[in-house]
Structure 1
């Protein structure tokens, strides 16, 4: 048995983060069998839109303003994302009234979830709630419901959301990653020294991890 540490920077409103993780998940499932692998995943915050007000804004308008995307460019991009998602079992639901949200609260809960080793199931639930179910991702009760469904305690989660210290922790952590040179997500750091930017193709991701695992010591 070999242990492999993977640190992931992501934001729940980033479709490429959802795609990138799902590809990783499929690769790790195979490597668990082939290489007797024990992956250890740590999630870290990276807010794409930390200044968005409560309630967010219409996604299509946001893409046009922030990235200067035309309607055609936006449509082609979302079609590509939807196609790639379908290949992975993700069913993206891009609608005309879909909104994009400030994700600070979600990141606070994600940081706290590390204490109970519930980060990954919680992150997956956040992706699904936003991209497939169209839930309001800056709403406290929505986030609490998602957290509780993953086995987290509602009272503890509510304290995390109301404690300014957790908000500050998110900001400070993001600052440290920016200073380390991370400028976009998804970003994966393998064994704390190999950086993989973007949603890596499954074959390339498999080859990278497969080769690295052979160099790792076995657990006893």
Structure 2
């Protein structure tokens, strides 16, 4: 069985990141017995200057991209359908805001020390996209840890250390050096990069190439769908 390290570059509020994640996981499931994957997550903040209270999605898309209400409606319908096809629930009656995600990325980095990063990542997806969770709220993030049976007090203590901040900053610096224009992106075994929320079929094709000797693999970069 081929062992595969997967590092997903993402933002917690990125609409297309869970789609790419789900499709890649499905591709891995389709190849069960051939590839054993270990997941890690690298931070990419789409809106690092987002205020603590966040911003309404409609207002943000209008101000940043000049999207009309009609264009947003069409975009949202396509997004919800694509998410449904990937087995996700996007409820815009609850998911009304984009939030600052720095604290959520800190939480994911801490969870990695316990090998619980996948559990926390999937919980953030479910609570934000289906439930509208304020992922910038320390109170709500700590409550999430409690709901997962993780030691919230230990998390708060360890996340306040200088060493923790330095470790996380190295992840930010690594992502910055890649000069990505969008997320999601996936790094396989430290040196193969694929970008975009691609289809299950596309990911499975690339996994088949990855399972072969390195000289048979071609680096693929795709724009986010």
- Counterparts in 2 of 1:98-113, with a 5 A limit? 98-113=96-111
Residues 82, 91 of structure 1: 8 Å contact kept: yes
Residues 118, 150 of structure 1: 8 Å contact kept: no
Q: Which runs of 5+ in 1 are unaligned?
A: none
Question: Given the superposition, is the C-alpha separation of residues 207 and 39 from structure 1 closer, same or farther in structure 2, using an over 3 Å criterion?
Answer: same
Question: How far apart in 1 are the matches of 2:11 and 2:164?
Answer: 17
Residues 95, 130 of structure 2: 8 Å contact kept: no
Instruction: Kindly tell me the number of residue pairs found equivalent between the two proteins.
Output: 214
Question: How far apart in 2 are the matches of 1:137 and 1:5?
Answer: 27
After TM superposition, the runs of 4+ consecutive aligned structure 1 residues lying more than 6 A away are: none
Question: How far apart in 2 are the matches of 1:202 and 1:147?
Answer: 30
Please list the CA deviations of residues 18-66 of structure 1 after superposition, one character each: whole Å capped at 9, or x if unmatched: 1110111111112123x1x210111111111111111111111011112
Equivalent in the alignment of 1:18: 18
Equivalent in the alignment of 1:198: 196
Residues 108, 160 of structure 1: 8 Å contact kept: no
Q: Which runs of 5+ in 2 are unaligned?
A: 215-225
Equivalent in the alignment of 1:131: 129
1:114 to partner: Cα distance: 1.0
Q: Which moved more, 1:20-29 or 1:148-157?
A: 148-157
Question: Given the superposition, is the C-alpha separation of residues 120 and 213 from structure 1 closer, same or farther in structure 2, using an over 3 Å criterion?
Answer: same
Question: How far apart in 2 are the matches of 1:53 and 1:166?
Answer: 23
Residues 95, 132 of structure 2: 8 Å contact kept: no
Question: How far apart in 2 are the matches of 1:164 and 1:70?
Answer: 44
- Counterparts in 2 of 1:74-89, with a 5 A limit? 74-89=72-87
Question: How far apart in 2 are the matches of 1:58 and 1:215?
Answer: 48
Question: How far apart in 2 are the matches of 1:120 and 1:65?
Answer: 33
Residues 7, 190 of structure 1: 8 Å contact kept: yes
1:11 to partner: Cα distance: 0.8
Question: How far apart in 1 are the matches of 2:169 and 2:178?
Answer: 14
Q: Which moved more, 1:166-175 or 1:87-96?
A: 166-175
Question: How far apart in 2 are the matches of 1:58 and 1:21?
Answer: 25
Residues 60, 96 of structure 1: 8 Å contact kept: no
Name the SS of the counterpart of 2:31 in structure 1: helix
Question: How far apart in 2 are the matches of 1:71 and 1:166?
Answer: 42
Residues 105, 167 of structure 1: 8 Å contact kept: no
Equivalent in the alignment of 2:45: 47
Residues 58, 97 of structure 1: 8 Å contact kept: no
Across the aligned residues of Structure 1 and Structure 2, the Cα RMSD in angstroms comes to 2.0
